[in-house]
Amino acid sequence: MSDPLEVLRRHSSRAAREFGVLETPPLWARGEGATLWDERGVDYIDFTSGSAVSNAGHGNQAIRQAIEAQLATGVFHTGTLVPSPQKARVIERIVSLAPPSLTRVHLASTGGEAVEVALKAVRYATGRQNVIAFWGGYHGRPMGALALTGFRSYRDPFYPVNIGAHHFAYPYPYRNPFGLPKEREEDILRLTLAYLEQALDNPASGLAPVAAIFVEPVQGVGGMVVPPAGFLRGLRALCDRFGLLLVSDEIFCGFGRTGAWFGCQREGVTPDVMIVSKGLSGTLPVAGIVGTEAVMTAWPGGTQSSTFEGNPIACAAAVASVDFLVQQDILGNVRRTEDQIRAWSQQIAGLPFVGEVRGVGAMWGIEIVEPGTTRPAPELAKTLQSRCFEGGALVYRAGHYGNVLGLLPPLVATEQELATGLARATVVLADAAAGARHPLSAGG
């Protein structure tokens, strides 16, 4: 067999990211819970969850058995022209966890595709074309989703991508545009909502008729940014006042990651549409949107379809994943995870390059800055991420400037797994703070 790394180096698209952290990355041979082992048998604690996918953990037996049972039937793919019991079951699970007024589901294959579905749904339901999104928002890379995404680095090479998406500031206390100290969260929230309200209300703002506001309850790729309490309630009030739809993008933070089944539920807010993916199956590509009767019955049959929509194997995995999370009281484990990471954060908060540690549930970010300033330090963050990988702790990297280290453990992570991974990360951060330059060995 050819060397997989050599094959990827020679033939994988240059846009792929397999070598974005290490020149010689590990190849996974086995996984269980929050731990992965490479071909040498070296263990790594996973604080990435495959970009917030593996909520139910690696090697989950319930998901594996569901996939194997579906494979045993020989029904691998059915298309969209006939009813599917597997599709019905996953739709039933989504609706059971969603806010009560969200009763209709349209499945897709990936989160980015589901964002496209949501865009079409809100446009059809309202008859309006424009949408509002936020700085630091990430909604995927298909062209419609890319227009909603706030990062210029993703969008600039593909202009024109604008489909009527207008971006406003997200209430990010540490990097708010008002020059206020982060402790003044109430003022930051008030000004953020007031500016948006003025744009919607003022006929001279230049904002064309808006169909919907797309928002992440907690920004993931944006840097694990937790908005001040009341932000989603404020958006809901603006949508109600101006006749807009509210779309909650739960791709990153749904299915328990924030300590609630969906991020919008942390504030008791019911959107008109939720977008789900990633943690839905914890394994295979499956996504969708769940919305109100008014939105989801506005368009006629055949308006939206996708070849792999409702694939029976992916749906079987999703049903097993959701059932597992519910039966295991995963929200209780997420609360314990939050307490453990919050306590650990006190150990590193005083390091000279740590601007802030923030988070909720199993979704945490460490803002890396130039020592003694609030200026982002993306190169240092990249170096720290690489050293954490070498030291046996897989950490995410995100943020407006690429300077936030993310901790996104599987929701099943045990206290011991978290303690081991956090200890490994502590070594890296402490050595960097002391000016150490010696390499760290994996598994230490």
Res. 385: pLDDT tops 90: yes
Residue 369 carries which side chain, given as an amino acid letter? V
Res. 120: pLDDT tops 50: yes
Model confidence at 134, pLDDT cuts 50, 70, 90, reads: very high
Model confidence at 163, pLDDT cuts 50, 70, 90, reads: confident
Rounded to whole angstroms, the Cα distance separating 319 from 65 reads 11
The structure's pTM equals 0.94
Q: Which two tokens stand for residue 109?
A: 């294959």
| Residue 442: predicted pLDDT | 40
Res. 359: pLDDT tops 70: yes
CA dihedral 169, 170, 171, 176 (to 10 degrees): -50
- CATH fold of 75-327 reads Aspartate Aminotransferase; domain 2 (3.40.640)
Mean pLDDT of 368-390: 96
pLDDT > 90 fraction of the chain, expressed in percent and rounded? 82
pLDDT tens-digit readout, 424-434: 999 999 999 99
Domain ranges of the chain: 4-60+329-433, 75-327
Bridge pairing between strands 210-215 and 130-134: parallel
Rounded to whole angstroms, the Cα distance separating 104 from 90 reads 12
Rounded to whole angstroms, the Cα distance separating 183 from 189 reads 11
Mean pLDDT of 320-347: 97
Rounded to whole angstroms, the Cα distance separating 94 from 412 reads 20
Rounded to whole angstroms, the Cα distance separating 138 from 149 reads 5
Where would I find the beta strands (DSSP E) of 135-271? 165-168, 210-215, 245-249
What interhelical angle do 312-327 and 61-73 show, nearest 10?
150
Q: Show Cβ contacts of residue 194 under 8 Å, excluding neighbours closer than 6 positions.
A: none
Question: Residue 45 pairs with which residues in a beta bridge?
Answer: 35, 393
Where would I find the beta strands (DSSP E) of 235-362? 245-249, 273-276, 287-291, 354-360
CA distances from residue 108 to 178, 227, 314 in whole angstroms, order as listed: 39, 28, 11
Identify the CATH homologous superfamily for domain 4-60+329-433. Answer: Aspartate Aminotransferase, domain 1 (3.90.1150.10)
Mean pLDDT of 173-196: 97
Res. 203: pLDDT tops 80: yes
Rounded to whole angstroms, the Cα distance separating 254 from 55 reads 10
Res. 444: pLDDT tops 70: no
